[in-house]
Structure 1
C-alpha cells in the first residue's frame, strides 16, 4: 500500500492538523463524542474528521463510526469538503456530509474559526445485527454543534430575545436580562449574525452498505430489489420480493435493464467508445499476463500487443469479447452477441444519467473488477481490498497508470467515462439518446 500512498492514490487530499490550537479543538470534540483524546501533536483528517494516525493510536479504525451505523464527525475547517471519506460503510455518507458543508459553508466557516463542530449522521437504527434492519433506514439527520454549544445557546438566546420583546414585563425582568447578557458573551449578536444550520435532513433511498458482506438496496425504482455481494441465502428472510446476488449475472442484468439504469458504452452520447474499450482490454491483458508471470514492460500499447500475441489461445474470454465489439465499432461487419453470461458483458455498460448514477457505476465496478480505473473511481474500498492480492507487477502497473492517467485530470476523466454530473431530479434528459439495447441483443425490454 506504500506505493499507493506515495503516489497520492491512498490517503490523498487529507487535511493536516498541525497546530496546537487545532489539535486542542479536535481533542475537545473527540472527548465529547467518544470520551477519548489523542496524544499526537500532528495528524491528518478526512471529510468526517477521522484520522488514520489516530485510528492506529487507539487501535480502532471505527472510533468515529461505532457499529458502522451512525457516523460521527468533527469539522475543523470547511476545507474538509474536498477530502476523501475513509472507511465508508454507506455509499450515501460522503454525499450527505459534502452537501451539509456546502449548504452551510458561511455558518460553518464562522463557527470553526473559534471552535470545532462535532456531530453525527443520525438515523433511527443504532445497530445492524440483522439484514432486515437495513429497510428501517429511510432518512438521515445531521445533528451538529460546536463543543461550546454555540448553536444550541444561540437558539436559546434568540428565544430569550423574543420573550424580552413580546412579554409585557420583559424590560423589568432582571433575571431574563442577565441570562441574555451571559449567553450573548458566548454567542455574539444573534440578531445580526444568527447561528443556525440548514439542510440537515436527507432521504436515504437507494444505497450500498459494507454490512453483511456488501449489499446494494434499490427500493426507489420501478422494480425494487436487493442485490447481495455474497450468497443471498445468508441474509435470511427480507421484506422485499426480489433478492439477488452478484453471482446471478442474468438476474442482475435484467434488473438493471428493467429499471433503465444502464446504457451500453457503444452508442452512449459524447463517448469515445473505441478508446474506452481498448483501455479495458489493456487492463484485462495486464491481469492475465502478470498472473502467468509474463513481462509487460512499461505497459505501453505496443508491449501489450506483444503480450497478447504470446498468450494466443490463453487470452481471457472477456478480452476476446471486447476485441470483437471493438472490431464491430471500428470496421462494421457482423455484430457480436454478448449476453449477461459472457465475461465481457458488464464491461460494456455504464450507468444512465440519474440521481443513482454513482451507485449503479459502483455496482458495475464490482461486476467488472478487472477495469481498475472504474474500480478505483467508483469503489475505492473494494479497490484497496483487491489490490493487496495482486502480483507486484500488476500493483506497479496500476499505480503508475492511475497516477499518470487519472490523478492529472480527475474531473475530465470522470466526465469522459461517465458523463456530466447527474441532476437531482429525473426529466426528459434521461431519454434524449437513441434507445440502444446493445450490440449483443441481450436482455430485451419486451420481458416486462
Structure 2
C-alpha cells in the first residue's frame, strides 16, 4: 500500500492534529465518548475524527465505531468536512456527516474555536448479530455537543430566558436569575449568538453495508432487493422480495432495469461516451497482460494498441465487445450484441439520475472490478482489498494512473463520468443512436427467466 500512501491515494486529505491544544481537546472528547485516551502528540483524522495512528495504538480500529454500528465522531475543525471517511461500515455515513457539517457550519466553527464537538450517528439498532437486524435500521439521527455541554447549556439558558420574559414575577426570582447568569458565563449571549445545532434525521432505506461480507439493500425502490457480495444462503430469509448474490448477473440486470436505476453510457448526455468506454478497454487490457511481465509504465495510446496486438490471445471478450460499441458510437458501425450475461454488459452502464446514483455506481464498480478508476472512486474499501492481490506491475500502473489522471481534478473526473445534464430535443441524424438503444439494447438483451 506504500505506493498509494505516497501518492495521496490512501490516507490522503486527512486533518493533521499536531498542536497541544487540539490534542488535548481530542483526548477530552475521546475520553468522553469511549473512556480512552491517546498518548500520541501528532496524528491525522478523517471527517469523523478517526485516526489510523490511534487505531494502531489502541489495537482497535473501531474505537469510534464499536461493532460497526452507531458511529461516533470527534470534530476539531470545520476543515474536517473536506476529509474522507475511512473504514465506512455504511455507505450513508459520509453523506450524513457532510450534510451535518454543511447545515451547521457557522455553529460548528464557533463551537470548535473553544472545544471539541463529540457526537454519534444514532439509530435504533445497537447489535447486528444477524442480517435481519439491518432491516430494523429505518433512520439515523445525529446527537452532538461539546465536551463541556455547551449546546445543552445554551438550550437550558434559552428556556430560562423565555421563562424570565414570560412570567410576571420572574424579576423577583433570584434563583432563576442566578442560574441564567451562571449559564451565560458558559455560553455567552444566546439571544444574539445562538448556539444551537439543527436536529437532523436521515432515512436509511437504500444503502450498502460492510457487514456480512458486503450487502446492498434496496427498500425504497419499485422492487425491494438485497444483493450480497458472498453466497446468499447463510443470510437466511430477509424481509425483502428478492435476494441475489453478486454472481447472478442476469437477475441483477433485470432488477436494475425494472427500477430504472441505470442507463447506457452511450445514451448519457454531457459525457464523452467513446472516451469513457475506451478507457475501460485499457483497464481490461492491463488486467489481462499484467501477469506476463510486460512493462506497463508510461503506456500511451499507441502502446495499448501494441499490447492488444501482441497479446491478442489474452484479450478477453469484454474488451472486444466494448471496442465494437465504441466503433458503433463513433462511426455508426454494426450494433454489438451484448446481453446481460456478457462479461462486458455492466461496463456499458452507469447509474441513472436518481437519489441512489452513488449506491448504484458502487454496485456497478463491484460488478466491473477491472475498471480500476470507478472502483477507486465508488468503492474504496473493495479497491484497497483488490489492490493487495495485484502484481507489482499492475499496482504501479494503477497508482501512477490515478495520481496523474484523477488526483489532479477529482471533481472534473467525477462530473465527466457520472454527471447528468438535462435532456434536450435534438434533430435526428442519419442513424438515430437513442432509437437503436431503445429498440435493441441494452434492455432488450436482458434474458427474462
Band the TM-score falls in, shorter-chain normalisation: over 0.9
Tell me how far apart the structure 1 counterparts of residues 167 and 301 of structure 2 sit (CA, whole Å).
80
Q: 1:437 to 1:32 in 2, by over 3 A?
A: farther
Contact 1:244 1:251 in 2 (8 A): yes
Q: Deviations over 1:372-398 (max 9, x none)?
A: 000001011110110000000000000
Deviation at 1:298, TM superposition (A): 2.1
Deviation at 1:169, TM superposition (A): 2.5
Q: Secondary structure at the match of 1:55?
A: helix
Residues 390/272 of structure 1: CA separation in 2 closer, same or farther (3 Å cut):
same
Once the two structures are overlaid, the 10-residue window that deviates more, 119-128 or 296-305, is 296-305
Does the 8 A contact of 1:249 with 1:341 survive in 2? yes
Distance 1:297 1:173 in 2: 79
Q: SS in structure 2 opposite 1:121?
A: strand
Q: Distance in 1 between matches of 2:410 and 2:275?
A: 17
For 2:299, the equivalent position in structure 1 comes to: 299
CA distance in 1, matches of 2:184, 2:365: 53
Q: Helix, strand or coil: the match of 1:407?
A: helix
**Structure 1 portions without partners, runs of 5+:** 422-428
Provide the rounded CA distance (Å) in 1 between the counterparts of 2:32 and 2:275. 52
Q: Quote the Cα distance in structure 1 between the aligned partners of 2:105 and 2:189.
A: 19
Please show how residues 280-299 of structure 1 align to structure 2 within 5 Å.
Answer: 280-299=280-299
Give 1:348's aligned residue: 348
Residue 230 of structure 1 corresponds to: 230
The more displaced of 328-337 and 49-58 is 328-337
**Contact 1:264 / 1:438 at 8 angstroms: preserved in 2?**
no
Structure 1 residue 440 displacement after superposition: 4.2
Deviations 1:22-60 (A, max 9, x none): 000000000000000010111110000000111111111
Q: CA RMSD in A?
A: 1.9
Provide the secondary structure at the position in 2 that maps to 1:409: helix
SS at match of 2:338: coil
Residues 110-121 of structure 1: pairs in structure 2 closer than 5 A: 110-121=110-121
Q: Is the contact made by 1:17 and 1:44 (CA closer than 8 Å) also made in structure 2? A: yes
- State the distance in 1 between where 2:61 and 2:357 align: 29
Distance 1:73 1:438 in 2: 50
Matched, 1:4 2:4: yes
SS of 1:266's equivalent?
helix
Distance (Å, rounded) in 1 between the aligned partners of 2:425 and 2:407? 31
Deviation of the 1:313 alpha carbon: 2.4
Q: Distance in 2 between matches of 1:80 and 1:432?
A: 43
Alpha-carbon distance change, 359 to 441 in structure 1, aligned in 2, over 3 angstroms: closer
| Contact 1:289/1:296 (8 A) holds in 2 | no
Match in the other structure for 1:95: 95
Kindly indicate whether residue 125 of structure 2 is the aligned counterpart of residue 125 of structure 1.
yes
| CA apart distance, 1:363 | 0.4
Determine if contact 2:338/2:445 at 8 Å carries over to the other structure. Answer: no
Distance 1:432 1:251 in 2: 33
Higher mean C-alpha deviation, range 168-177 or range 222-231 = 168-177
Relative to the length of structure 1, the TM-score reads: 0.95
Name the residue aligned to 1:319. 319
**1:137 & 1:7 partners in 2: Cα distance?**
37
The SS at the match of 1:408 is helix
Once the 2 structures are TM-superposed, how far is the Cα of residue 231 of structure 1 from its aligned partner?
Answer: 1.1
Q: Which residue does 1:180 correspond to in 2?
A: 180
Tell which deviates more after alignment, 326-335 or 239-248.
326-335
Query: In 2, distance between residues paired with 1:389 and 1:335?
Result: 36
Q: How does 1:38-437 map to 2 (within 5 A)?
A: 38-420=38-420, 436-437=437-438
CA separation of 1:438 and 1:313: change in aligned 2, threshold 3 A: farther
CA-CA distance at 1:404 after TM superposition:
0.4
What's the counterpart of residue 31 of structure 2? 31
Q: Hey, what's the Cα distance between the residues in 1 that align with 2:192 and 2:287?
A: 62
Residues 328-370 of structure 1, C-alpha deviations (whole Å, 9 max, x = no match): 2223232111011111110000001111111100000000000
Q: Is the 8 A contact 2:375 2:383 kept in 1?
A: yes
After TM superposition, give the deviation of residue 446 of structure 1 in Å.
11
Deviation sequence 1:62-91 (CA, Å, 0-9, x none): 110001010000000111111000000000
Q: Is the 8 A contact 1:297 1:303 kept in 2?
A: no
Question: CA 1:79/1:432 → structure 2, altered by over 3 Å: closer, same or farther?
Answer: farther
- Structure 1's 442 and 339: CA in aligned 2 closer, same or farther, altered over 3 A? farther
Q: Distance in 1 between matches of 2:167 and 2:445?
A: 70
Contact residue 15 and residue 80 of structure 1 kept, 8 A: yes
Between the aligned partners of 1:297 and 1:111, the Cα distance in structure 2 is 49
CA drift of 1:292 comes to 2.8
Deviations 1:140-176 (A, max 9, x none): 0000000000000111111111222222321111111
> Aligned equivalents of 2:442 and 2:68: distance in 1?
42
Note closer, same or farther for the CA distance 1:351–1:156 as it changes in structure 2 (3 Å cut).
same
CA distance in 1, matches of 2:71, 2:100: 14
TM-score w.r.t. length of structure 2: 0.95
